[in-house]
Amino acid sequence: MNENQPVALGLDLGGTACKLGVFDVKSGEMLEHTSSLVKDGKRPGAELFDQFCKAAEGLLRARGMGPEQVVSVCVASAGILGPEGAREPAEFELVTNSPNIPGVNGFNIKEALKARFANALTFIENDAKAHGWAEWFYGAGQEPQVHTLVGFTLGTGLGGFVVVDGKMIRPAELGHVQIDTGVDAPFCGCGMRGCAEAFVSKVAIRRLGSEFLARYPESKLKEIGASSHGFDPLPIAKAAETGDEGCRMLYEHVGFYLGKLIWQLKRVFMPDVVICSGNIANDLHLLLPGIMAVLENDRLLERQPVIRKTNLGPAKAGIIGAGALAIHGCKTRT
């Protein structure tokens, strides 16, 4: 490996996992990638950041490289970014509010990056928006008929993005669009009732597990809920695939509320394509019956967007987007 080879780092920090990629700046190729569990999103931001840095240094060492070869870094984190008035990845410095990773709230990521990677340009982006950039640069956005692209990251929480002709619409906090105004609507991690994230996320599926077990007492939900992992989306999806009605209806219920969110976004943006990424997106086909039950009743805008999961790999789109931003930022400043 060339000791002078410039590389970029892309980090996707979510509520469940910390994913990292090392990219060749000249070719854009992802040279190495890894993932580790966050374990506890309430850990101090400095600890989470140190976990990322140690993982990055380990990947670099494995290729005979050092931190001095890192010329650009982009951290994609769940949550609202600041400071107030910042609009672009080069301007963001910290996460001001992340319901699913509260430990990073107020931690100045930009300063910490500069201290650890002194030679590198630094960029910060919302994690869902990083998925959006990945799709625009490498995925659905490259299709000639796509002008408006909407996407969701289906993970611990619900993130989203809207890209119109190459421009990222901000803030576009799609997971916190209110889709149920009822007084008994479930609370979201942000403190409000009825946000989309309270219905469409890993956290929501865990809550819904006990509700659907009560409706379908013969369902495999009983043994899934009693396991050490509780009502985890993956075994619920596997059981749904084998015909378990309770598990199938739970996923359809989640899809119904995702459909309500897409309905609202149709009224504003009329997307050409809706892309789903994140681990829950692996089972998008289980959500689609619920989604289409909503959208097929739309008599105002009858044309439906294409709804599909990412072709970039549900677990890699975030680091690909972060890496793309790091490389793009590096090239535009040199």
Q: How many CB atoms lie within 10 A of CB 63?
A: 15
Q: What whole-number percentage of the chain has pLDDT above 70?
A: 98
Residue 248 phi, psi (nearest 5): -65, -45
Q: Could you read off the pLDDT of 248-292 as tens digits, one per residue?
A: 999 999 999 999 999 999 999 999 999 999 889 999 999 999 999
Residue 297 to residue 299: CA distance in whole angstroms: 6
pLDDT surpasses 80 at 229: yes
Domain boundaries 143-309, corresponding CATH code: 3.30.420.40
- pLDDT for 321 equals 93
pLDDT (mean) for 80-87: 93
Contacts for 151 with CB less than 8 Å, ≥ 6 apart: 128, 131, 132, 135, 160, 161, 274, 275, 276, 277, 310
Tokens, residue 43: 């850990």
Instruction: Name the pLDDT band for 314 (thresholds 50, 70, 90).
Output: low
Residue 69 to residue 83: CA distance in whole angstroms: 29
- pLDDT for 14 equals 79
Residue 84, classified by CB atoms within 10 Å of its CB into exposed (0-12), middle (13-18) or buried (19+), is exposed
Nearest Cα residue to 324 out of 79, 76, 119, 52:
76
Instruction: Name the pLDDT band for 38 (thresholds 50, 70, 90).
Output: confident
Residue 186 to residue 165: CA distance in whole angstroms: 35
Right CATH for 7-132+315-332 from 3.40.50.2300, 3.90.1150.10, 3.40.50.300, 3.30.420.40: 3.30.420.40
- pLDDT for 279 equals 87
Total-model pTM:
0.87
Nearest Cα residue to 97 out of 149, 161, 175, 155:
175
Q: How many CB atoms lie within 10 A of CB 179?
A: 19
Cis-peptide into 144, omega within 30 deg: no
Domain residue extents for the chain: 7-132+315-332, 143-309
pLDDT surpasses 80 at 313: no
- pLDDT for 334 equals 58
pLDDT (mean) for 29-40: 88
Work out the end-to-end distance of the chain between its first and last CA atoms, rounded to an integer number of angstroms.
Answer: 23
Fold match between domain 7-132+315-332 and domain 143-309: yes
Strands 94-97 and 148-154, sheet pairing: unpaired
- pLDDT for 42 equals 86
**What b/e readout covers 222-243, taking b as 16+ CB neighbours within 10 angstroms?**
eebbeeeeebbbebbbebbeee
pLDDT surpasses 60 at 87: yes
Tokens, residue 279: 């681990």
- pLDDT for 3 equals 67
Residue 297 to residue 317: CA distance in whole angstroms: 32
Instruction: Name the pLDDT band for 52 (thresholds 50, 70, 90).
Output: confident
- pLDDT for 41 equals 79
Query: What integer best gives the mean pLDDT of the chain?
Result: 93
pLDDT surpasses 70 at 18: yes
- pLDDT for 2 equals 62
Please give the angle made by the CA atoms of 5, 19 and 66, to the nearest 5 degrees. 25
Beta bridge partners of 273: 149, 306
Q: Could you read off the pLDDT of 232-257 as tens digits, one per residue?
A: 999 999 999 999 999 999 999 999 99
pLDDT surpasses 60 at 73: yes
How far is residue 271 CA from its own chain's centroid?
19
Strands 7-13 and 70-77, sheet pairing: parallel
Laid out side by side, the sheet with 70-77 consists of 30-37, 17-24, 7-13, 70-77, 121-126
